[in-house]
Amino acid sequence: MATTLVKTIGGEAGTRDVAARIEHVSKSFATPAGQQLVLDDITLDVARGEFVTLLGASGCGKSTLLNLAAGLDRPTAGTIATDGRPALMFQEHALFPWLTAGKNIELALRLRGVPKAERRPRAEELLTLVRLQGAHGKRVHELSGGMRQRVALARALAQDSQLLLMDEPFAALDAITRDVLHDELMRIWRETGVSVLFVTHNVREAVRLAQRVVLLSSRPGRVAREWNVDIDQPRRIEDAAVAELSVEITEQLRGEIRRHGQH
């Protein structure tokens, strides 16, 4: 029997600097054609305060890996240890339409056990952090796509988790808004010191944001290669250095995809 264990890192010596430790994780799903292996022996650490992007073509199991890390699903084999319950942000804002922007954040605080008196001021603080002061009473449908994702980010931060998992959070936004949110995310990441594991299929976005880019191969997902991105922040998506590394990573990614056409 393979060990299937999702545990919490709790003050163990040597693991204190790690926000997430994914060790030899595999995941397969039952399909009509039999067991399909989606993730194969993934080992990946996210250090405290680190920003890692997970990059891959479709079928690499990036979202599956995030679900496992978020504790929404269990690995078939291997262990995942995270520093507390991670916060998760989706491609769709996933804000509750029956609550106002502020109440969405307050619900996250409430479910975490924050006393009633502290919820409102804390929600205002988080809205200010994502530059939406004054949006507390706004209904979700009254906000633009970019504003919704910022409220969703504030709600995720309300969980006060050491680890923030982001599943293509800006993929549905227009290019201008996405570019601005990249800057915002970088600022908030520096201000809060949170560790981020960010999934994307956009190479430029991965390089623009990350300290480390992890490329997954597809079907099954394996760690194909990692790059440390030593480009100084603040970066722009148009920067030559970003472009240069993006070209290199894209070549590798195309190679991974090409392999699937050959057999």
Partner 1 sequence: MGSTDTTTPAKTGGPADAHDLAGLEAGLDALDTVQTRRTPLRETLVQKVLPPVTAVVLVLVVWQILVWAKVTDDYKLPAPSAVWDEVEAAWRQGILLDYIWTSVERGLFGFLMALAIGTPLGLIVARIRFVRAAIGPILSGLQSLPSVAWVPPAVIWLGLNDSMMYAVILLGAVPSIANGLVAGVDQIPPLFLRAGRTLGAQGLRSAWHIVMPAALPGYVAGLKQGWAFSWRSLMAAEIIAQSPDLGIGLGQLLEAGRTNSSMSQVFLAILLILIVGIAIDLLIFSPLERWVLRSRGLLVKS
Where on the chain is the footprint of partner 1 (CB under 8 A)? Answer: 70, 72, 85-88, 90, 92, 94, 96-99, 107-108, 110-112, 131-132, 139-147, 155, 159, 176-177, 180, 183-184, 187, 225-232, 234-236, 239-241, 244-245, 248
**Smallest distance from the beta carbon of 15 to partner 1, in angstroms?**
22
Residue that the structure tokens 């307050």 belong to: 106
Nearer to partner 1, 193 or 261 (CB): 193
Q: What are phi and psi of 174, to 5 degrees?
A: -75, 160
**Smallest distance from the beta carbon of 123 to partner 1, in angstroms?**
14
Nearer to partner 1, 79 or 177 (CB): 177
The burial of 158, by beta-carbon neighbours within 10 Å (0-12 exposed, 13-18 middle, 19 or more buried), is given as buried
Nearer to partner 1, 1 or 175 (CB): 175
Residues in CB range of 38: below 8 A, 6 or more apart:
27, 28, 29, 61, 64, 219, 220, 221
**Smallest distance from the beta carbon of 252 to partner 1, in angstroms?**
9
Residues in CB range of 54: below 8 A, 6 or more apart:
62, 65, 66, 197, 198, 199, 200, 214, 216
**Smallest distance from the beta carbon of 8 to partner 1, in angstroms?**
14
Nearer to partner 1, 39 or 214 (CB): 214
Q: Are 75 and 4 in contact (CB under 8 A)?
A: yes
**Smallest distance from the beta carbon of 53 to partner 1, in angstroms?**
15
Nearer to partner 1, 97 or 255 (CB): 97
Residues in CB range of 144: below 8 A, 6 or more apart:
177
- Taken in order 75, 78, 83, 84, the sign of the CA dihedral is positive
Look at residue 204 and give its three-state secondary structure: helix
**Smallest distance from the beta carbon of 61 to partner 1, in angstroms?**
17
Distance CA 64, CA 49 (A): 23
Pull the structure tokens for residue 219.
Answer: 């079907």
**Smallest distance from the beta carbon of 253 to partner 1, in angstroms?**
13
Nearer to partner 1, 45 or 184 (CB): 184
